[in-house]
């Protein structure tokens, strides 16, 4: 009977908890930034520094779009974030520490920051062989209680839902239900928002280097990976990104003036918020130092045991105040909140030179992607043998269709131009390969990769396109090689070379090694000892 009574008591207690939870009256631990007042109502933390930190986190996520970007922004600005002790002798007190990624996720996922009371968001799942199970998150329709507007919040419920949707999209960037994911550093403009027009799947990216740049190729390969089949589609991305970027520039141009006015105001507001948080940290350290001073002054000087401890606490608080003031002064010097002349000039260019800003190499690829996602919902791409068709859906519901020719493959781009091949063929009648390379360089002609021609490149063109060599052209014109010339004249090869350099016999060089093809000697060939110096001839 005692066991049954314990069971009934526990059931009644559980029933009371669920009843209070359904009414929104259950007292639960609150996240940082929310507290209970004397009447038991949930209110915003009266500490303005804590409120500012929470609001700054939420505003930074709305601008940056990912939890990791929020952590980086806080670290770059030298900002800390509050946390509350849940147990121990300091239970209920608040400390400050560098912001962590898990803290950002906790704040963004918690609906209490939107003023909603919830109960039953997590459930314990038993694990075999262990006393305690693992906590899992359950869908919203399975929550025991969800009461919007139950207390004040930092954001609206719509903003909280938008934040959780964005986090879900970021988390699914590498999963089975692949979504857009946050903008990355790569140059692919349509990363995460390009869809295969053949099967409807999300396309991934593969980069390859060409001319010192990373060029993207969009691939639809999920079915190929799962079932060992060829990829569904491969779309060269460089030309497609250029045309989509031009479409976005044309769309953004009417809004450039408004954007230029808003950018400077937003930058100043962010700098002011960060400065206020750093100043609050100094005020907090000054308060603790003053509190330690007052405690030390109220103690009986004769009680040296207590006075020594309080004096040490005062010194520690003063050192913390000095460190906080020094960090604040340094951060204020680095982040004064005023726009530099270069930044003002860059913002002003938004009005008149938006294409220049977009195409500027100094503009990060991630910023271009963020602009693209503000204007584009997705881009569906289909490829045929000679064309690429892209259907871009704008955020307002409009659609634009782009039809592009399929870019030439790399091997074809690297091929020599027909005009260059024709010119090399013509120059071979009168010049060697080194001379031809010098002539092409003087005329500014380059190969398909943009490099100036050299002797090796000219020789490669001759072999690849089966051009007649200069030697063959001279042979066809009637010139004869050295071996045949020696037979006709009845002299040695060295004698023929001496006669050539002396101008007794004529010929033409056919390569860059100085080798010569000779004109036939004719009816009056030179004598055997012709061309030798008389002082070197032996007496008769």
144 falls within a domain: no
Print the SS3 string covering 475-528: HHCCCECHHHHHHHHCCCHHHHHHHHHHCCCCEEECCCCCCEEECCCCCCCCCC
**Mean pLDDT calculated for residue range 370-394:** 86
DSSP letter assigned to residue 228: T
| Cα 319 from Cα 239, distance rounded (Å) | 59
Which range in 4-8, 116-120, 137-141, 186-190 is most confidently predicted, on average pLDDT? 116-120
Domain that holds residue 525: 476-536
pLDDT at 537: 44
Count Cβ atoms within 10 A of the Cβ of residue 168 and give its class: 0-12 exposed, 13-18 middle, 19 or more buried. Answer: exposed
**Mean pLDDT calculated for residue range 160-165:** 91
Task: Specify whether 292 is located in the same domain as 390.
Answer: yes
99 falls within a domain: no
Choice between 531 and 427, residue whose per-residue pLDDT is larger? 427
Task: Specify whether 277 is located in the same domain as 296.
Answer: yes
Is the pLDDT confidence value at 448 over 80? no
34 falls within a domain: no
Count Cβ atoms within 10 A of the Cβ of residue 513 and give its class: 0-12 exposed, 13-18 middle, 19 or more buried. Answer: exposed
pLDDT at 336: 57
Triad 481, 484, 485: Cα angle to 5°: 85
CA–CA distances in Å: residue 331 to residues 64, 69, 317: 21, 20, 21
194 falls within a domain: yes
Task: Specify whether 386 is located in the same domain as 263.
Answer: yes
Question: Kind and range of the H or E element at 165?
Answer: helix 157-171
Q: Which long-range contacts (CB under 8 A, 24 or more apart) does 226-235 make?
A: 232/196, 232/198, 232/199, 232/201, 233/196, 233/197, 233/198, 233/199, 233/203, 233/381, 233/382, 233/383, 234/383, 235/194, 235/203, 235/381, 235/383, 235/388
Task: Specify whether 331 is located in the same domain as 383.
Answer: yes
Task: Specify whether 343 is located in the same domain as 422.
Answer: no
Is the pLDDT confidence value at 345 over 70? no
261 falls within a domain: yes
pLDDT at 106: 93
pLDDT at 57: 93
Task: Specify whether 385 is located in the same domain as 276.
Answer: yes
Task: Specify whether 433 is located in the same domain as 376.
Answer: no
Domain boundary among 440, 467, 494: 467
Three-state DSSP state, 257 = helix
225 falls within a domain: yes
Three-state DSSP state, 473 = helix
Which of 401, 405, 404, 403 has the alpha carbon at shortest distance from 392? 401
pLDDT at 534: 42
Task: Specify whether 483 is located in the same domain as 448.
Answer: no
Q: Which stretch of 40-49, 241-250, 253-262 has the lowest confidence by average pLDDT? A: 253-262
pLDDT band at 187 (very low <50, low <70, confident <90, very high): confident
Tracing tokens 């190499």 back to the chain, one arrives at 361
**Mean pLDDT calculated for residue range 182-187:** 79
Q: How many CB atoms lie within 10 A of CB 277?
A: 24
pLDDT band at 113 (very low <50, low <70, confident <90, very high): very high
**Mean pLDDT calculated for residue range 518-539:** 65
pLDDT at 539: 44
pLDDT at 340: 61
pLDDT band at 3 (very low <50, low <70, confident <90, very high): confident
| Cα 36 from Cα 29, distance rounded (Å) | 9
Is the pLDDT confidence value at 32 over 90? yes
| Strand runs labelled E in 305-460 | 376-383, 387-394, 399-405
343 falls within a domain: yes
Task: Specify whether 418 is located in the same domain as 488.
Answer: no
pLDDT at 100: 93
Is the pLDDT confidence value at 218 over 50? yes
Task: Specify whether 188 is located in the same domain as 277.
Answer: yes
- Domain count for the chain: 3
Encode pLDDT of 243-257 as tens digits.
888 888 777 665 554
Which of 374, 371, 379 has the alpha carbon at shortest distance from 355? 371
Task: Specify whether 363 is located in the same domain as 445.
Answer: no
pLDDT band at 337 (very low <50, low <70, confident <90, very high): low
Q: What is the pTM of this model?
A: 0.59
Domain boundary among 435, 467, 499: 467
Question: Kind and range of the H or E element at 117?
Answer: strand 117-119
Give me 223's structure tokens: 């079915």
| Cα 508 from Cα 431, distance rounded (Å) | 10
Is the pLDDT confidence value at 154 over 90? yes
Scanning 198-303, the segments in alpha helix (DSSP H) are: 222-227, 237-252, 256-298
| Cα 525 from Cα 125, distance rounded (Å) | 109
Task: Specify whether 488 is located in the same domain as 390.
Answer: no
Averaged pLDDT of the chain:
83
**Mean pLDDT calculated for residue range 16-45:** 89
Q: What are 389's strand-pairing partners? A: 382, 403
Domain boundary among 407, 428, 448: 407
Backbone angles phi, psi at 516, to 5 degrees: -125, 145
276 falls within a domain: yes
Encode pLDDT of 302-329 as tens digits.
887 788 888 888 898 899 888 888 888 8
């Amino acid at each position: 009977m005692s066991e049954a009574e314990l069971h009934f008591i526990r059931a009644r207690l559980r029933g009371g908890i669920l009843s209070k939870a359904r009414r929104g009256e259950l007292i639960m631990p609150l996240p940082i930034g929310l507290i209970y007042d004397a009447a038991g109502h949930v209110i915003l933390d009266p500490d303005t520094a804590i409120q500012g930190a929470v609001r700054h986190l939420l505003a930074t996520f709305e601008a940056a779009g990912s939890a990791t970007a929020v952590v980086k922004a806080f670290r770059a600005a030298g900002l800390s974030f509050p946390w509350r002790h849940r147990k121990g002798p300091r239970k209920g007190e608040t400390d400050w520490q560098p912001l962590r990624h898990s803290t950002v996720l906790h704040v963004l996922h918690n609906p209490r920051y939107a003023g909603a009371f919830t109960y039953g968001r997590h459930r314990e799942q038993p694990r075999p062989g262990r006393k305690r199970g693992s906590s899992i998150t359950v869908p919203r329709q399975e929550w025991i209680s969800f009461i919007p507007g139950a207390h004040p919040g930092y954001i609206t419920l719509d903003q909280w839902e938008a934040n959780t949707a964005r986090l879900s999209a970021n988390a699914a960037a590498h999963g089975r239900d692949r979504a857009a994911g946050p903008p990355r550093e790569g140059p692919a403009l349509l990363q995460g928002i390009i869809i295969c027009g053949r099967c409807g799947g999300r396309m991934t990216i593969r980069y390859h280097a060409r001319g010192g740049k990373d060029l993207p190729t969009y691939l639809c390969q999920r079915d190929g990976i799962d079932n060992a089949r060829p990829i569904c589609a491969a779309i060269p991305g460089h030309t497609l990104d250029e045309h989509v970027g031009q479409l976005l520039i044309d769309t953004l141009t009417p809004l450039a003036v408004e954007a230029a006015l808003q950018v400077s105001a937003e930058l100043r507001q962010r700098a002011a918020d960060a400065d206020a948080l750093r100043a609050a940290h100094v005020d907090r350290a000054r308060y603790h130092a003053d509190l330690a001073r007052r405690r030390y002054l109220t103690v009986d000087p004769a009680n040296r045991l207590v006075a020594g401890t309080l004096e040490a606490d005062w010194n520690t608080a003063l050192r913390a105040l000095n460190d906080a003031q020094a960090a604040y002064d340094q951060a204020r010097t680095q982040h004064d909140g005023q726009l530099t002349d270069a930044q003002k000039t860059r913002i002003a260019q938004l009005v008149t030179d938006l294409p220049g800003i977009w195409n500027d190499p100094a503009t990060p690829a991630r910023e271009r992607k963020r602009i693209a996602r503000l204007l584009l919902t997705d881009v569906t791409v289909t490829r045929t043998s000679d064309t690429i068709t892209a259907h871009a859906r704008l955020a307002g519901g409009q659609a634009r269709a782009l039809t592009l020719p399929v870019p030439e493959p790399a091997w074809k781009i690297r091929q020599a131009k027909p005009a260059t091949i024709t010119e090399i063929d013509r120059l071979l009648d009168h010049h060697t390969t080194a001379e031809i390379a010098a002539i092409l360089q003087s005329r500014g002609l380059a190969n398909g990769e943009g490099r100036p021609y050299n002797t090796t490149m000219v020789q490669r063109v001759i072999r690849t396109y089966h051009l007649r060599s200069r030697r063959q052209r001279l042979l066809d014109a009637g010139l004869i090689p050295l071996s045949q010339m020696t037979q006709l004249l009845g002299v040695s090869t060295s004698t023929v070379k001496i006669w050539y350099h002396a101008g007794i016999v004529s010929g033409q060089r056919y390569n860059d090694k100085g080798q010569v093809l000779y004109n036939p000697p004719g009816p009056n060939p030179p004598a055997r000892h012709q061309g030798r110096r008389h002082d070197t001839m032996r007496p008769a």
